[in-house]
Amino acid sequence: MATSDVKGVATDIIFNRYSEAGWDRAKGHAPLEWELLVYVNLQHLVTILCTPTKLNYLVLGFLYSEGIISRMSDVMMMRVCEAESEVDVRLTNPEFQLPTKRTLTSGCGGGATFTTQGQMVNSELVVTPAEVLSQMKLLLEQEELYHLSGGVHTSVLSDGRNVLVVTEDIGRHNTIDKIQGECLMRGISTKDQLILTTGRVSSEMLRKAARMQVPVVVSRHTPTGTAISIAQDLGITLIGQARGNRLSAYSHPERLGCPTQ
């Protein structure tokens, strides 16, 4: 039973909780879920299920990952209307045509992508397992909304020493788009950086990372088999099960100093 919004991203709830002591009534929070309508040059492009934070970054990052824009100068104007849950984007290119092919992704809430192509990542970046695990610990310290309500994923962009950008969303793929969008607006380069996430890495997330020229992607969970294959082909070091003092490298372990077989 919702009673009031908490910080605009979660709602108060009352629920029944079971433990060894039996049933009791408890209070807590649940993350909000929005249907965000995205219009480009007055054409409906996509509806994104998301957490209502950093909506401008989310849309910019999505447009970038889909190849609709390549830089901020491709955007003439963007209007975010939270009251109507929509974003209106006008491109400098008046000839923009809606993509004809849409692929439903495995992202939470059922994401969509208009491209299944990936870009090769060429990087000489080398990191140590200790640096990766240290950054994962920093990520876990940044989970503000997760600690409030649970039910969301957190992702960060890191240079291997410091966390540069933090995003949270009900959709793990949305967190990557939010990182890209924030980096576009703030002028932060994603090339040769690390992405760390609490969510399982799937194929569409790998393609987004490749578009960002990120050579290392890290998760607390096991990636999908397709994501591993794509990471191998595109030159990305894909790391999973990064917990405590352990991690598993599924592709290009040489970037971590692991001897190749």
The Cα 127–Cα 157 span in angstroms is 14
pLDDT band at 176; cut points 50, 70, 90: very high
**pLDDT tens, residue by residue, 186-243:** 999 999 999 999 999 999 999 999 999 999 999 999 999 999 999 999 999 999 999 9
pLDDT band at 117; cut points 50, 70, 90: low
Question: Does residue 13 sit within a domain?
Answer: no
Question: Does residue 120 sit within a domain?
Answer: no
Look at the chain and report how many structural domains it folds into.
2
Do 251 and 134 fall into the same domain? Answer: yes
DSSP, collapsed to helix, strand or coil, labels residue 163 as strand
Q: How far is residue 221 from each of residues 4, 153, 258, measured CA to CA in Å?
A: 33, 12, 20
The Cα 68–Cα 46 span in angstroms is 13
Is 70 exceeded by the pLDDT of residue 105? no
Looking up residue 66, the CATH number of its domain turns out to be 3.10.20.10
The Cα 7–Cα 145 span in angstroms is 10
Instruction: Identify whether 108 is a catalytic site residue.
Output: yes
Is 90 exceeded by the pLDDT of residue 165? yes
* pLDDT score recorded for residue 101: 61
The Cα 217–Cα 22 span in angstroms is 42
Do 53 and 168 fall into the same domain? Answer: no
Among 113, 141, 165, the domain-final residue is 113
Closest CA to 217 of 245, 244, 248, 171: 248
Looking up residue 214, the CATH number of its domain turns out to be 3.40.140.10
Do 141 and 230 fall into the same domain? Answer: yes
Active-site annotation holder among 81, 108, 183, 258: 108
DSSP, collapsed to helix, strand or coil, labels residue 226 as helix
Among 61, 79, 113, the domain-final residue is 113
